[in-house]
């Protein structure tokens, strides 16, 4: 009897099994709504918390390996838990805990897939993501990658009776598989004809510059399709709104991060060298993605599409961080690479929290109002205070405002831009600060988008009468929302502790970390390089703002008075104020449409002066759809039609084909 | 942190924050007075902003029936943010214990917090003018913020730090010469601060026409003490921006750490610099006309480009 304590990797495998059991339990009673919602999902949330705790411990342990007796006869699944996997497993556990708790109150009777089946798909999805993070050979990785892609496809199409949702699901599946093919080819390049696909072997291969670059580009394309990098982003704004909100939250908050994980794993772990132009390429694509995402996000009128585009933006920012890290690493500047990588990883964690929170918030709004269109919402803060205030935290975090978490990672990212003076290449020296300007623009635009999102949904007056009957979130939904909102606040207020957590990851990937410097300056101040160079302390920041706020409040009451009178809004003396006079989502997007006009493909229908029933309509579409996807689709259709000419549907013709083939082959053999 | 917590540091911090909070309305009054003189009007008294604040604090606050707590909290949040902003900008001394809590990037974030809250407060009542103002303010904000960051980046690259106190110590310690990078950055900064402080040519603080308002449109629904706090916060913002400009481009005369007696010299120097700066602002406002809202993106894109040029000049020339 082995009485040695279980290793973290054993715990994580046990958690995976637990998740599978929970999913299987759902299938036992597929229509047992109460059982699934009130027993299985809360239990799953507890398991997620457990995973987060175990992963947190594992972050500080060394790498552990395991071999599962699954898979092909000669090819068992190799698993490995190192700092990078542990960090992303922590992200998975912590974010999915909130989502599962919310899910306990969210799923309703009679919506598409029966609850028990949904429960199975949901847990298989979680297991797929966890196993992707653990996989240590290409075979296991690809199998789990597919498990993740397929289960999420079924989740996206949960409400499969709607044609639009089926179409979104198809698009998602298509791009997921194009990406998977690229990843497969990438592993093929990495194994360098040894036939051994374990990551341990891939790590030892010394590829030539050409093959390394090929592998990197394949990885960037393959994982980029999953993460939503330009121009492979088109599935995101379709699939996220189609899925039920907890699923959208997981897709956006966690699944996109598995793609980031894969990219990091290939670039920094499996490839033995990084070239500077990879970094420049990643910077360029990342910035373009971020800018594209945020600009499109600002003009959306569907709240979930808005968030989906905002996810594209955040993934772009993460890629900018990774690109910078590659660049620094290529120039052998490990400390700076660690700073940029810390910013990217921190942003992954932050985005997981605030985007899950916001997606869950839209889920609660959707249930309360059955409305996704921003033009029919408004004033919900008074009717749904829990959701409203939780969403405010998410919105502030997502806008990158101090002292919440989004700001910390943006701050670190901007810091890492400011050290480029030491780079040996003048071109890169010039380029990098300009990219920093782009990042600043993206961050500022994110604030614009989030003000629009929050203002139109939660503030103002309700635009429809039935919104007066909107109900607040239920108890389980509140638990999920509060968990994620607390996460946003804590990640924002305790950056030094989070950086210590990331430290092992950056040590493993680029051989340096920030923890030593950060620790030297105490837990209160975050000074990633040195105190003279830059410092930020969210706790002091919050304390001073709160103290001066309360002091002013008390002083005003003491010196003057606290009299307050409620009256109708003044509105410059205009008495007949109606909710229709508020700014709409379209109106709020108008400056963006005007300033960034070349980015959009717009159709406007403007009323003429004499219209009795004036109608105004604007349709904003994505250029890439028409530049890339429609031509490819047309090409495929044409080729298919040509091939279709062969198919006559008559047995005699097919016999003729067989005969001709046979003759040709005989001729060929005879020759 | 331990070393920073000394008595002279605390003293200069306290002095600076008190000066900012109490003195900011005076700067606003001075700018108004200068502008009136330049426009050949009879000038309002210098202390008028104080009397206005006193009057507003005495009035009761009228709040729309359906206003949420966010609407009432906004003036306090905005005031708190501006107070912290004034506390971390080295106007009198570089020996500020609070300066390590927020560097220049965090300062930009701080202004963004105030802007987002005031825009959300404007959204809350759901009036046409309020939401219009919020939209325009966010437009100006997202254009001005990157330009401001680029200006700051130039000074970061020159001084090798993002902490404003260190930047000032570094820049003040250099020999007196014209740095082309800083000249570009200075022009860009002036343009950005005009936009951020809702001054002509981007916005007109004295307008009474709602359709052309930006900042004023957002605060139309505020009254009594809430309005007073917002007005006061606007003065603080002008004060903070002026001090940032002085710190980056005219850093001489600010007291260093370890020389508390310099504070007595720093105060009159600061007053003279602010008086000159205020007069310059009034001159700019008098000499230019308010532009249409969709000319603002061009104006601020110009500022952004100037800042980028400044930075590239620094990288090319090393100056």
A64-72 vs A75-81, strand pairing mode: antiparallel
Phi, psi of A70 (to 5 degrees): -105, 175
**Rounded distance between C-alpha atoms, residue A138 and residue A188, angstroms:** 9
Q: Which of A357-361, A622-626, B204-208 has the lowest mean pLDDT?
A: B204-208
Question: Is A581 in contact with B76 (Cβ distance < 8 A)?
Answer: no
CA distance B100 to chain A (A): 6
Contacts of A399 in chain B (CB under 8 A): 112, 116
Residue of A439, A451, A547 for testing the chain B interface, max B β-carbons within 10 Å? A451
The pLDDT score that the predictor gives to residue B134 is: 92
**Is 70 exceeded by the pLDDT of residue A164?**
yes
CA nearest A522 in B: which residue?
Answer: B1
Of A27-41, A330-344, A424-438, A573-587, where does the model show the most confidence?
Answer: A330-344
* Mean pLDDT to the nearest integer, A406-429: 83
Residue B238 exposure: Cα atoms within 13 Å on the Cβ side: 26
Of A30-34, A112-116, A533-537, where does the model show the most confidence?
Answer: A533-537
* Mean pLDDT to the nearest integer, A141-161: 91
The pLDDT score that the predictor gives to residue B235 is: 95
Question: Is A570 in contact with B221 (Cβ distance < 8 A)?
Answer: yes
Could you check whether the bond before residue B201 is cis, i.e. omega within 30 degrees of 0? Answer: yes
Q: Are A179 and A232 in contact (CB under 8 A)?
A: yes
Cα B65 to its chain centre, rounded Å, is 33
Q: Are A233 and A293 in contact (CB under 8 A)?
A: yes
Task: Tell which residue, A354, A420, A433, A345, has the closest CA to residue A393.
Answer: A354
Residue A493 exposure: Cα atoms within 13 Å on the Cβ side: 10
**Rounded distance between C-alpha atoms, residue B230 and residue A587, angstroms:** 26
Mean pLDDT taken over chain A = 89
CA distance A600 to chain B (A): 18
Q: Name the residue among B62, B101, B120 with its Cβ closest to that of A451.
A: B120
A-B CB pairs within 8 A amount to 261
For residue A72, the 8-state DSSP code is E
The pLDDT score that the predictor gives to residue B2 is: 42
Phi, psi of B213 (to 5 degrees): -75, 150
CA nearest B81 in A: which residue?
Answer: A545
Q: Name the residue among A444, A534, A564 with its Cβ closest to that of B142.
A: A444
Contacts of A447 in chain B (CB under 8 A): 112, 115-116, 138, 141-142, 145
The pLDDT score that the predictor gives to residue A1 is: 40
CA distance A545 to chain B (A): 5
Q: Are A340 and A325 in contact (CB under 8 A)?
A: yes
Q: Are A485 and A391 in contact (CB under 8 A)?
A: no
Residue keyed to tokens 């660049």:
A327
Q: What is the pLDDT of residues A460-470, one digit of tens each?
A: 888 888 888 88
DSSP codes of every residue in A237-278: HHHHHHS-HHHHHHIIIIIHHHHHHHHHIIIIII-S---HHH
Q: Are B313 and B182 in contact (CB under 8 A)?
A: no
Dig out the tokens for A384 from the structure.
């749904």
Q: Name the residue among B1, B64, B129 with its Cβ closest to that of A522.
A: B1
Q: Name the residue among A411, A545, A560 with its Cβ closest to that of B105.
A: A411
**Is 70 exceeded by the pLDDT of residue B264?**
yes
Name which residue leads in pLDDT, B257 or A69. Answer: A69
Q: What is the pLDDT of residues A509-522, one digit of tens each?
A: 888 888 888 888 77
Contacts of A453 in chain B (CB under 8 A): none
Q: Which of A286-295, A344-353, A662-671 has the lowest mean pLDDT?
A: A662-671
**Rounded distance between C-alpha atoms, residue A226 and residue B233, angstroms:** 46
Q: How many percent of chain A have pLDDT more than 70?
A: 98
Q: Name the residue among B68, B83, B100 with its Cβ closest to that of A537.
A: B100
Q: Name the residue among A414, A454, A569 with its Cβ closest to that of B125.
A: A569
Q: What is the pLDDT of residues A246-263, one digit of tens each?
A: 999 999 999 999 999 999
Which residues have CB under 8 Å from A552's CB, separation 6+?
B76, B79, B80, B83, B229
**Is 80 exceeded by the pLDDT of residue A529?**
no
CA distance A529 to chain B (A): 10
Residue of B97, B108, B113, B212 for testing the chain A interface, max A β-carbons within 10 Å? B113
The pLDDT score that the predictor gives to residue A665 is: 94
* Mean pLDDT to the nearest integer, A124-131: 94
Dig out the tokens for A438 from the structure.
């782009």
Query: The dihedral of CA A113, A117, A120, A124: what is its sign?
Result: negative
Question: Is A591 in contact with B83 (Cβ distance < 8 A)?
Answer: no
The pLDDT score that the predictor gives to residue A110 is: 60
Contacts of A379 in chain B (CB under 8 A): 66, 126
Q: Is B246 left (phi over 0), alpha (psi -120 to 50) or beta?
A: alpha
DSSP codes of every residue in A361-402: HHHHHHHHH---BGGG---HHHH-HHHHHHHHHHHHHHTT-T
The pLDDT score that the predictor gives to residue A422 is: 67
Question: Is B135 in contact with A591 (Cβ distance < 8 A)?
Answer: yes
CA nearest B125 in A: which residue?
Answer: A460
Q: What is the pLDDT of residues B61-91, one digit of tens each?
A: 999 998 999 999 999 999 999 999 999 998 8
Dig out the tokens for A544 from the structure.
């001073």
Q: Name the residue among B62, B98, B126 with its Cβ closest to that of A565.
A: B62
Other C-beta atoms lying within 10 Å of the C-beta of residue A548:
21
Dig out the tokens for B46 from the structure.
């210098």
Dig out the tokens for A252 from the structure.
């956006």
Question: Is A548 in contact with B83 (Cβ distance < 8 A)?
Answer: yes
* Mean pLDDT to the nearest integer, A273-284: 92
Which residues have CB under 8 Å from B21's CB, separation 6+?
B83, B86, B236
The pLDDT score that the predictor gives to residue B185 is: 92
Contacts of A563 in chain B (CB under 8 A): 60-61, 224
CA distance A159 to chain B (A): 34
CA distance A255 to chain B (A): 29
Question: Is B153 in contact with A451 (Cβ distance < 8 A)?
Answer: no
**Rounded distance between C-alpha atoms, residue A646 and residue B32, angstroms:** 84
**Is 50 exceeded by the pLDDT of residue B166?**
yes
Asked whether the whole model's pTM tops 0.90, one would answer: yes
Q: Which value does ipTM take for this structure?
A: 0.94
* Mean pLDDT to the nearest integer, B286-294: 89
The pLDDT score that the predictor gives to residue B3 is: 46
**Is 70 exceeded by the pLDDT of residue A266?**
yes
């Amino acid at each position: 009897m082995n009485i040695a304590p279980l290793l973290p990797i054993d715990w994580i495998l046990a958690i995976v099994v637990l998740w599978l059991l929970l999913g299987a339990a759902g299938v036992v009673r597929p229509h047992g709504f109460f059982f699934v919602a009130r027993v299985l999902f809360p239990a799953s949330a507890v398991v997620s918390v457990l995973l987060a705790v175990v992963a947190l411990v594992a972050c500080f342990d060394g790498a552990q390996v395991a071999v599962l007796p699954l898979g092909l006869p000669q090819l068992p699944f190799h698993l490995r838990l190192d700092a990078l996997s542990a960090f992303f497993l922590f992200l998975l556990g912590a974010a999915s805990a909130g989502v599962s708790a919310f899910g306990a109150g969210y799923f309703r009777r009679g919506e598409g897939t029966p609850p028990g089946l949904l429960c199975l798909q949901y847990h298989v999805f979680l297991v797929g993501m966890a196993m992707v993070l653990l996989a240590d050979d290409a075979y296991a990785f690809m199998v789990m990658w597919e498990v993740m892609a397929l289960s999420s496809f079924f989740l996206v199409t949960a409400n499969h009776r709607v044609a639009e949702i089926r179409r979104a699901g198809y698009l998602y599946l298509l791009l997921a598989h194009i990406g998977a093919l690229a990843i497969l080819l990438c592993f093929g390049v990495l194994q360098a004809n040894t036939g051994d696909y374990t990551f341990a072997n891939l790590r030892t291969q010394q590829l030539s510059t050409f093959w390394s670059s090929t592998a990197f580009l394949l990885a960037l394309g393959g994982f980029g399709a999953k993460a939503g990098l330009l121009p492979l982003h088109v599935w995101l704004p379709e699939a996220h709104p189609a899925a039920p909100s907890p699923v959208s939250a997981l897709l956006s908050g966690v699944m996109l991060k598995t793609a980031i994980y894969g990219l990091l794993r290939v670039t920094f772990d499996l490839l033995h060298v990084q070239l500077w132009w990879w970094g420049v390429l990643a910077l360029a694509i990342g910035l373009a993605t971020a800018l594209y995402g945020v600009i499109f996000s600002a003009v959306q009128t569907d709240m979930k599409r808005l968030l989906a585009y905002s996810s594209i933006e955040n993934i772009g920012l993460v890629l900018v961080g990774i690109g910078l890290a590659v660049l620094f690493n290529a120039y052998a500047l490990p400390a700076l690479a660690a700073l940029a990588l810390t910013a990217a990883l921190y942003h992954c964690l932050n985005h997981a929290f605030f985007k899950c929170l916001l997606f869950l918030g839209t889920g609660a709004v959707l249930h309360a109002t059955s409305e996704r269109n921003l033009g029919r919402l408004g004033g919900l803060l008074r009717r749904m205070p829990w959701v409203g205030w939780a969403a405010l935290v998410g919105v502030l975090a997502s806008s990158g405002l101090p002292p919440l978490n989004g700001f910390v990672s943006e701050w670190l990212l901007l810091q890492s831009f400011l050290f480029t003076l030491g780079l040996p290449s003048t071109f890169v020296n010039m380029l990098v600060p300009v990219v920093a300007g782009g990042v600043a623009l993206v961050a500022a635009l994110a604030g614009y988008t989030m003000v629009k999102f929050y203002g139109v949904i939660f503030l103002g007056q309700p635009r429809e009468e039935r919104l007066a009957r909107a109900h607040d979130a239920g108890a389980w939904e509140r638990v999920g929302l509060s968990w994620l909102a607390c996460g946003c606040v804590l990640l924002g207020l305790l950056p030094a502790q989070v950086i210590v957590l990331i430290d092992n990851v950056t040590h493993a990937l680029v051989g340096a970390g920030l923890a030593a410097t950060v620790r030297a300056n105490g837990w209160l101040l975050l000074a990633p390089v040195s105190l003279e160079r830059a410092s930020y302390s969210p706790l002091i920041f919050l304390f001073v703002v709160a103290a001066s706020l309360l002091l002013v409040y008390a002083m005003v009451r003491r010196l003057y008075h606290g009299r307050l009178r409620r009256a109708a809004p003044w509105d410059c003396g205009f008495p007949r104020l109606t909710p229709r006079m508020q700014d709409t989502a379209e109106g709020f997007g108008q400056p963006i449409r005007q300033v960034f006009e070349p980015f959009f493909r717009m159709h406007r229908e403007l009323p003429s002066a004499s219209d009795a029933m004036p109608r105004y309509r604007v349709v904003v579409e994505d250029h890439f759809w028409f530049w890339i996807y429609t031509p490819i689709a047309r090409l495929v259709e044409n080729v298919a039609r040509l091939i279709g000419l062969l198919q006559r549907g008559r047995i005699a013709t097919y016999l003729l084909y067989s005969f001709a083939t046979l003759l040709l082959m005989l001729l060929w053999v005879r020759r | 942190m331990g070393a920073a917590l000394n008595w002279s540091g605390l003293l200069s911090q306290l002095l600076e924050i008190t000066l900012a909070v109490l003195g900011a309305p005076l700067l606003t009054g001075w700018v108004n007075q200068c502008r009136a003189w330049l426009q050949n009007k009879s000038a309002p008294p210098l202390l008028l902003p104080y009397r206005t604040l006193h009057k507003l604090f005495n009035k009761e606050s009228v709040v729309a029936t359906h206003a949420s707590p966010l609407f009432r909290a906004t003036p306090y949040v905005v005031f708190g943010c501006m107070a912290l902003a004034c506390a971390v900008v080295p106007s009198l001394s570089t020996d500020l214990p609070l300066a390590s809590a927020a560097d220049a990037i965090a300062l930009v974030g701080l202004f963004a917090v105030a802007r987002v809250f005031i825009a959300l407060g404007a959204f809350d009542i759901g009036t046409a003018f309020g939401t219009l103002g919020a939209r325009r303010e966010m437009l100006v904000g997202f254009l001005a913020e990157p330009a401001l960051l680029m200006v700051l980046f130039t000074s970061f690259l020159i001084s090798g730090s993002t902490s404003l106190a260190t930047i000032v110590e570094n820049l003040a310690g250099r020999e007196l010469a014209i740095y082309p990078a800083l000249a570009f950055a200075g022009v860009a900064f002036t343009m950005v601060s005009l936009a951020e402080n809702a001054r002509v040519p981007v916005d007109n603080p004295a307008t009474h026409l709602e359709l052309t308002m930006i900042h004023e449109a957002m605060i139309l629904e505020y009254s009594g003490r809430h309005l007073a706090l917002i007005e006061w916060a606007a003065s603080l913002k002008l004060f903070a921006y002026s001090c940032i400009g002085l710190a980056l481009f005219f850093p001489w005369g600010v007291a260093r750490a370890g020389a508390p007696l310099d504070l007595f010299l720093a105060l009159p120097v600061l007053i003279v610099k602010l008086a000159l700066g205020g007069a310059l602002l009034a001159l700019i406002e008098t000499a230019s006309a308010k532009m249409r809202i969709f000319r603002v993106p061009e104006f601020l894109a110009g500022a952004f480009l100037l800042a980028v040029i400044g930075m590239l000049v620094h990288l090319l020339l090393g100056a």
